[in-house]
Structure 1
Amino acid sequence: MYFDGAARKDDAGAGVVFVTPQNHLMSYAYMLTQLYTNNMAEYQALILDLQMAIEDVRDLDIYGDSKLVINQVLDEYGVKKEDLIPYHQRAMQLLNQLDSIKIGHVLRSANKLADTLVNLAATFVLRAEESMQVLVCNRWGVSLLEREEILDTTNMIYVYTANEDDWRQPIIDFLDHKNYPTIPGTG
């Protein structure tokens, strides 16, 4: 499970990506309806994700890009901020319901999908009782065959024959046949 949370001036979001043993992805995004700090949003993402996971999963590998949250859950950092204590306690209660857990910190670059989901969720404007399903597909607007046809036409050569009175004709003659233009009066 990869999780991420983010808070901004007027909105907050949480995202999770579950990777099954068969490498199938299940991704979820949540618009958080209250204003949070970034650390609160990270905890909120972890808690929401754990609540979903404990229904069906007993063994879970958990990855997040918040060093603070990961290290607090691992008891390597103490929880000093009063407003984070309830979040930490709830996360620990949920973690204790799992049989086996592995928790690790990942760089933001390794958590891109969860981060993208957070940003997507934070941009929606929904009332508390509303939800929205968004299907994201991986498709090209132009198929490979169509692209090849387009590329084939881009290498076409167009031939233009200039009239002898056309000022461009001497330039064309020089480029095509290395014929130097005659200067009037020089014979």
Structure 2
Amino acid sequence: MTPNELNYSPIEKLCLSLIFQFEIIYVPQKAVKGQALADFLADHPIPAYWELSNEFPDEDVLVIEVKPPWKMYFDGASNKEGAGAGVIFVTSDGEVLPYSFTLTQNFSNNVAEYQALILGLEMAVDIKQLHLQVYGDSALVINQLLGSYEVRKPELLPYHNYARKLMGWLGDVEIEHVPRKENKQADALANLASTISMPNNEARVPICKNWVVPPVFEEESDEEKEDDNYTVEVFEIEKED
């Protein structure tokens, strides 16, 4: 296309493409002006099955649905019984994906925090979730990754470097420190894994909602209080596994 043709509106460019495709007689490009387009359309009526609509403007419109990023919460726990890591993903659709890991060795809390972060980042790399918001309650780990704190302990340096590498592979990662109360689900998963450490075995722990005793009882009448024979009533409570 000539420089002038590049300045045509989208509808004029469309008409110009029709001319190039269907015009049998060669028309010099310099002669292809707005009037030539109008003349061509007058001599070549649009077929009946083509319907023009006023709903679309004379502009190129490209609509791309941009979903919100996934969120990842991580936490690590270490005690005398073992070490564990908890990771929770919240998808762009609001679906919650919890994961709990028992770590094979007993580490310090800071190492367990790094392990939890790395496990989550590795999963994000595997599922190619490149836009990720990461939240953790370890001020040390978060600030070291943000560059606010220096990594002084040599045992933390390999974990720090690997976490930075994973974040570089993902590309678009935001990391932020949150209070422990906003990270309690990942904290619970990490503590659960550290408490029920089962080497070389995968444990599935079902979580059930249940209420053993009915929460509300009707007050006994005076006659029932005077009667030595009491009646025990059993209430069946609906419950879900």
Q: Give me the TM-score of the superposition, normalised by structure 2.
A: 0.60
Picking from 193, 212, 221, the partner of 1:157 is 221
Q: Which amino acid aligns with 1:140?
A: N
Q: Percent identity?
A: 45
What is the CA deviation profile of residues 24-79 of structure 1, one whole-angstrom value per residue up to 9, with x for unaligned ones? 11101111111211100000000011111111211100000000000011111111
User: Equivalent of 1:133, from 204, 213, 226?
Assistant: 204
1:30 to 96, 101, 107: 101
Deviations 1:84-103 (A, max 9, x none): 00000110111111131111
Aligned residue pairs total 154
CA distance in 2, matches of 1:120, 1:44: 16
**1:165: which partner in 2?**
none
Q: Which amino acid aligns with 1:154?
A: E
3-state SS in 1 of match to 2:175 = strand
Show structure 2 runs of 5+ residues with no match: 1-71, 227-241
Q: Quick one: structure 1 residues 159 and 54, their matched pair in 2 at CA, closer, same or farther if it must change by over 3 Å? A: same
Structure 1 segments of 4 or more deviating over 3 A? none
Once residues 95 and 53 of structure 1 are traced to their aligned partners in structure 2, the CA distance between those partners, rounded to angstroms, is: 10
TM-score, normalised by the number of residues in structure 1: 0.76
Q: Which residue of 2 aligns with 1:106?
A: 178
Q: Per-residue deviation at 1:12? A: 0.7
- State the Cα RMSD in Å: 2.0
CA–CA separation in structure 1 for the residues paired with 2:190 and 2:134 = 17
Question: Partners in 2 of 1:160 and 1:103 — Cα distance?
Answer: 64
Residues 159 and 126 (structure 1 numbering): CA distance in 2 closer, same or farther, change over 3 Å?
Answer: same
Deviations 1:126-155 (A, max 9, x none): 12x321122324x2336xxx94xx73x523
Q: Report the counterpart of residue 166 of structure 1 in structure 2.
A: none
Which residue of the partner structure matches residue 111 of structure 2? 40
Tell me, which stretches of 5 or more residues in structure 1 are unaligned? 163-187
